[in-house]
Structure 1
Amino acid sequence: MPTDAQLLARISSDATGESLRALYRAYAGELYGFALNALGDRGTAEEIVQEVFTRAWRHAEAYDPTRGSVRTWLYQIARHAIIDQRRRASVRPALALHEPRDEQDPEGLSIERAMLGWQVAAALEKLTPEHRQVIRLAHVQGLSVKEIAERLELPEGTVKSRTWYALRSLRLVLEEMGVRA
């Protein structure tokens, strides 16, 4: 069985995601408890856990074993994510973007759901800035076509076509990554 440090070292080159899944299984529960205790909101705590593993995946090379264990490093990432969340919450009210809970997974800590979130985040980074922007406005912030058009100072028809092409591009990138809808 590989050590946590070995799993972390393999994350960026592991196309199957097994290394990340193993670390997630080992630490997601306790990180969730840490975030829930700090923030008092289940949905936000879930987002923090996802953010921790997204950052760990993107910046696995930043881990320095001489400065502590993988567990300590993950908690440090969680602490920073919690601080970031508190800053955001103090600047603007939190958006209610939480999905309904799955009865089989009441805490929302499904590994597959988290992996899909990371894969979508990675796929979004491969899109053009215009496509990324319109997807975030429509599907993350929940703005209407009219609201997006006003914000971007574009005709509504342009917003509709840009959204359609952005979603098509996202679907193609996800398929290239091996993610099937």
Structure 2
Amino acid sequence: MSGSSYGNFDYELSSKILHLLKGSYPARLKKVLIVTAPLWFKAPFKVLRLFVREKLRDRVYTVSNPQLSLHLPQDAIPLEMGGRLRVEHEEWLKTCAAHIREGEASEATLDQLKSLTSGLSPPERPQNGGDTLTSSPSSGFSEEELSGEDAFGLELLEFIQHVRAKGRRGLYEEYEEICSRTALRDI
């Protein structure tokens, strides 16, 4: 959130983000890191997190730049945040636009997808069992709601095959079914 100001956010955006996290966005989020959140964000966020389930609350963290290395390896953290990853955002956007124009956006290979997460292994915990810097967990679903029918999830290749088999309409239907299942449980 570096460089953001109060004018960049409004209630509607906050509501959409909370709904996205609460509504079982069709991807499993093991951890959400909100980096360098300003006070105007932290205060309402601490209140809003009381209204979500514990499981989600335990997966959302507000962290500072030095705390980021407790959650990610240095090679996955951009230089601007104290890591070693060189990010060329404009070049990446141009590449994305070129692939979309060429119709290659949906044809990512398994190797391309694996390369996106290659350096993202969980960091080792300190020997004393606790974090040297604390980060505040936030928001929560039950494991059952997050995992759906299969508590163990899918391997990357299985997930890609599942998405291709379902198609856009099937994914929307599955998302709606997850949302309705959650809504019925809340009544």
Structure with a larger share of its residues in strand: 2
Structure with a larger share of its residues in helix: 1
Q: Which has the higher contact order (CA 8 A, sep 6+)?
A: 2
Is the TM value for this pair above 0.5? no
**Length-normalised TM-score, structure 2:** 0.28
